[in-house]
Amino acid sequence: MLVTQKMQKTYELVVFDWDGTLMDSAAHIVTSMQRALKELDLPVLPREKIRDIIGLGLREAIMRLLPDCDDDLLLMITDRYRHHFFTDDPCEPFAGAEQVLQHLHGAGYLLAVATGKGRQGLDRVLRSTGFSQYFVETRCADEAHSKPHPQMLLEIMDILGVDAKHTLMVGDTEYDLNMANAANTAAVGVDYGVHSRERLMACSPLACLSSITELPEWLVNETNTL
């Protein structure tokens, strides 16, 4: 009985953020937004200000950058941002990301994505990377409330029939970790993405990793503490 308990996984479901966690896309997001603003003769905001909103839904991100933006301008910025992001998408997964997904998938974990990307963007990049084979469920910001609202995470757990105590959220922003806190799930931060380690630790994750490749070993260590 003791051996069986030690082999039982602490978590059944691992939910990943996309941009900044699995995909090295922050620089491209910033450049695309700056180009959109420039085309519309709007102030070109500094890199760090735009980086700070990565992880939010696009509407919420634009409204945070430009609080006085009306609906017409919002649509124009959205259109130009998507044009630049999709016209030239040089983004690549972080080193080791696919190997981690392969390993966890093979080990029997349910894997999912909860992202600030829209459905069109996520489906496109899942096809181009071939990562769709690893995920049993995905949720996007145009299908639910933007992070840090817990709706995306709650819906994923409900559809897959996994409760919060067996769910782990992995993300690179405070929006990911606060979404997990609101959904009462565990969370692990990764500090190679958008938000700093100090900012992530303020959200009380179980750990903060410096490479996605550290996640499988961390999960094994969590399991062995049972």
Q: Is 24 a catalytic residue?
A: no
Q: Are residues 117 and 206 in the same domain?
A: yes
CATH number of the CATH domain containing 61: 1.10.150
- Name the helix (H) or strand (E) containing 77: helix 71-87
Q: Are residues 123 and 78 in the same domain?
A: no
Q: Are residues 70 and 107 in the same domain?
A: no
Residue 42 has pLDDT above 70, yes or no: yes
Residue 208 tokens read as: 């903060």
Q: Are residues 210 and 158 in the same domain?
A: yes
Q: Are residues 124 and 153 in the same domain?
A: yes
pLDDT digits (tens, 9 = 90+) for 166-206: 999 999 999 999 999 999 999 999 999 999 999 999 999 99
CB 138 within 8 A of CB 149: no
Domain range enclosing 43 = 26-87
CB 122 within 8 A of CB 25: no
pLDDT digits (tens, 9 = 90+) for 131-177: 999 999 999 999 999 999 999 999 999 999 999 999 999 999 999 99
For the chain, the domain total comes to 2
> Which of 62, 87, 112 represents a domain boundary (last residue)?
87
The DSSP bridge partners found for residue 23 are 19, 93
Contacts (Cβ under 8 Å, ≥6 apart) of 87? none
CATH number of the CATH domain containing 142: 3.40.50.1000
pLDDT digits (tens, 9 = 90+) for 20-40: 999 999 899 999 999 999 999
Q: Is 17 a catalytic residue?
A: yes
- Among the listed residues 17, 24, 52, 176, the single catalytic one is 17
The DSSP bridge partners found for residue 137 are 112
Q: Are residues 16 and 100 in the same domain?
A: yes
**What's the confidence (pLDDT) of residue 63?**
94
Kindly list the strands in the beta sheet with 167-171, ordered across the sheet, starting from the edge strand earlier in the chain: 137-140, 110-115, 13-16, 167-171, 186-190, 207-209
Q: Are residues 118 and 145 in the same domain?
A: yes
Please count the residues of the chain.
Answer: 226
